[in-house]
Copies of this chain bind each other. A is one copy, B any other.
């Protein structure tokens, strides 16, 4: 282990020592204390973690032993280690005892392509399970450049505050003037106050009002959208976390890391799939995913080629036509996003963020809405309010179906009469949902499960969520692998886990040789399902972007890790780290009493076949997939518990007492 070596570490130490944390007063409210507990000298490129208590307004810094980073890397790996150990089971997700983590990752702020994401973690108010969500932009690198690997926030403030991290200093500041502002206004005001070189992650009115599908928004349009974590921020009266970071992230061998970047970016950009992604980003397949019915159509019972043949109107070049400027996350070679302007008409908007595939899917085919301008505008409304567009689109679809079937009436929706494809009504309803306005807002602001509970009359069966979280625009009948992760991942209903689908599709992750899967055979998938899930847990925890991960040779990350940390990693080691992270997330849910083996996918996305199109008649046997997943993972299929021996193997002996 090179961590313990002398020369390099002393150099790192010297660099890092410049970033020691100092106590600062909290502007106008009360004292904040930062108590540096320098338990060990800093190693490798790892830095400091802040613990903020909003009850006591105390801010402490802590430097972990290197084995913490070695065993959990960063991202939700580091977060699950902290939250599992430092938070009791059974806390109210919207109460003061929930811990909200902002973490980066080992490769964030380094030359590793897409090493830029930050992850927000907490117990999810939407699902009651482990919750995490990650986000691009500039916030993650800024946090690292401020010398921090993560921030964990507990307690709740009586008055609105924001946390300001300023290159080695941290303070809580009054946010009374920001409360009620949307995320764009908030960011503009904060930059006016603090300078334009700060990065902001904040909530909008949705998070303030504890909407369970509230997101955390950075850079006015990058979202940590899922798991309802915006509501956790809102419950703490924490309007924003603002960071200025100007230090260089320490690296074992910076020259080597830069050299590797040149090599791997060249390899990446030589790939047609990367070139296409660079042009379109995720919107290149709105139409094709509608025609394949990977995207839900008409709240999951429609058939794209039959019911929404006009999908091309909201895909590819039809969206790109509104791009006025490209947007790249911090140093990302793919630069998949952009600023979008609709010049006139009811959906006019200036420099809005580009809607992603998920947004187009959930507000397009899912609602039979072929008006791309309305989707650009709706995306901006959701970003401003701070709402997850996946859950919002799903909820609107659910509402339209309930309206169509007479379970809710116009008078329940403030006079709005939503019908499939009626984009004017869809936008009106989305605005109310986002800002919890009127009867419609109250009914819909917390997502489909809450809405179905209010509406009753069997409407639950049209509410397409898993464990409370709305499904994204990926049908498990199209990609059976989605189905496994929708159920087994600690954040139910998530589509950004594992890599099973790529092995179904006959390609796989470059450099990770695993058996080819037969797309509709539920058997013999355990190995691929588990091993890709685990290795992606590790890769996500490094702070990398999934879109780059899926297009790069996996061995690249080993090279970057060595250059950055000075330590040799192997794929086997990453897999084991990922298995540890996964087991701990699972243990988190088990300790919470979540009936993990009872989580199911709604029938209309699973066992009720579509009546036309390419998926006509397809139903799945996800039980078999899940059973095999559990078996290969070393988790008991009956209870979902990691076995004692598996826990020991992963160095998680401490969890045995909790689970057995």
Contacts and interface: CB of A to CB of B under 8 A. Distances in A.
Nearest to A503: B617
A162 to B, nearest CB: 46
A615 interface: yes
Given A288-B305, A505-B611, A519-B616, 9 more contacts: A287-B309, A288-B306, A506-B617, A517-B617, A518-B617, A519-B609, A520-B521, A520-B618, A521-B621
Nearest to A504: B617
A305 B287 CA distance: 8
Contacts of A305: 287-288, 291-292
Contacts of A287: 305, 309
Tell me the number of copies of this protein. 2
A489 interface: no
Interface string A229-264: 000000000000000000000000000000000000
A333 interface: no
B505 A609 contact: yes
A305 B519 CA distance: 19
Provide the main secondary structure of the chain A interface: loop
Contacts of A616: 504-506, 519
Q: A287, A291, A517, A621 — which one has the most chain B CB atoms within 10 A of its CB?
A: A291
A614 interface: yes
Interface string A616-639: 111101000000000000000000
Contacts of A520: 519-521, 618
Interface residues of A, number: 33
Interface string A299-336: 00000111001001000000000000000000000000
A293 interface: yes
A283 to B, nearest CB: 14
A615 B504 CA distance: 10
In order of increasing CB-CB distance, the 4 nearest A-B pairs are A520-B520, A292-B614, A288-B305, A291-B291
B505 A292 contact: no
A462 interface: no
A613 interface: yes
Contacts of A519: 520, 609, 615-619
B309 A506 contact: no
Nearest to A614: B292
Contacts of A292: 291-292, 305, 613-614
Contacts of A179: none
Interface in A321-374: none
A277 interface: no
A420 interface: no
Interface centre among A287, A305, A478, A609, by most chain B C-beta atoms within 10 angstroms, is A305
